[in-house]
Amino acid sequence: MNIELREETEFHYIFDSDYGKISVGKYSEENPTGAQTLEDAANIALHCFDSAEE
């Protein structure tokens, strides 16, 4: 899957991908599973469908 960063907001890294828009949450105390860096967010986006029940 190809991804490209579209924009970064207060709460999300937003990517364009072969599967459309993917918003990845940023890390915070309230969101400990979020991405801590852009690289981390890209990795989460690339694998977010791995365990999704298609």
Residues near another protein, by CB under 8 A: 11-12, 17, 19-26, 30-35, 44-45, 47-54
2, β-bridge pairs: none
Q: Please identify, using beta-carbon distances, which residue of 38 and 48 lies nearer to another protein.
A: 48
CB of 38 to another protein, least distance (A): 13
Encoded tokens for 25: 């949450």
Strands 20-25 and 12-17, bridge-based pairing = antiparallel
Cα dihedral: 41, 23, 21, 6 (round 10):
-60
Give whichever of 2 and 51 is closer to another protein, judged by the CB atom.
Answer: 51
Q: Cβ 39 to another protein, closest distance in Å?
A: 14
